[in-house]
Amino acid sequence: MKLNRKTISNILFFGFIIFLFTPLGMGSRVKLTQGVTFVKTLIFPPSAVEDNKREGLDTYNLGLSGIANASDVNLESLKGKVILINHWATWCPPCRAEMPSLKSLYKDYSNNVEFLFLTSEDKSIVDKFYQNNNYKFPTYNMLSNPPKQITTRSLPATFILDKKGKVVLAEIGAADWNNSKVRKLLDKLINE
């Protein structure tokens, strides 16, 4: 039997659901989710939006309250920069699963890319999670609704914006962000 992408995706999804409802501790679920994320990313790595289909932000007016490793900022002040926006939560296993790959990417690109980790959780919850996992991501609560191009109801969700404010990559769900495809994309955007 020949397996196509849809069949493989369905197998991964149902395998994940089965393990999600088995009696595992949170650490085991995170490890399982990391494994599923790794396999998913091998098959379906995050892909850039085609040049002619990229949408620019309706507005840059998005106030952000810095809750961890960050001061308050408005997206407006980041115009002209490459920006990676990650919507996440500490209680979200797929979010937790992709954090190690984001940590590696952040370590190598934080001088050239603005990283914005957005959550609706309280500072104390985020601080405890970061302390337990040795993360130092600049993390914010949103003070207003984001532009529709970077709005999501799913977690995790990651968007990469070019210097012109166009959405170059939009990925819903966990991914391995520390891969050569994403790094090549960021290098290209930084040099534009």
Per-residue pLDDT reduced to its tens digit, 71-104: 999 999 999 999 999 999 999 988 998 999 999 9
pLDDT above 80: residue 2 = no
Query: Does the pTM exceed 0.85?
Result: no
Query: Does 127 share its domain with 87?
Result: yes
Query: Does 36 share its domain with 95?
Result: no
More confident residue, 30 or 50: 50
pLDDT for res 167:
95
**58-74 mean pLDDT:** 96
Query: Does 102 share its domain with 179?
Result: yes
CA dihedral 30, 32, 37, 40 (to 10 degrees): -160
Rounded CA separation 130/173 (Å): 21
Query: Does 20 share its domain with 115?
Result: no
- What's the structural domain count of the chain? 2
Query: Does 39 share its domain with 80?
Result: no
**44-65 mean pLDDT:** 81
Query: Does 10 share its domain with 57?
Result: no
pLDDT for res 191:
97
Whether the CB-CB separation of 64 and 139 falls below 8 Å is answered with no
Query: Does 81 share its domain with 30?
Result: no
**105-116 mean pLDDT:** 98
Print the domain residue range for 13: 5-43
pLDDT above 90: residue 17 = no
Query: Does 161 share its domain with 185?
Result: yes
Q: What is the CATH number of the domain that holds 92?
A: 3.40.30.10
pLDDT for res 29:
59
Query: Does 64 share its domain with 15?
Result: no
pLDDT classification of 51: cutoffs 50, 70, 90: confident
Query: Does 134 share its domain with 85?
Result: yes
- Average pLDDT of the chain is 86
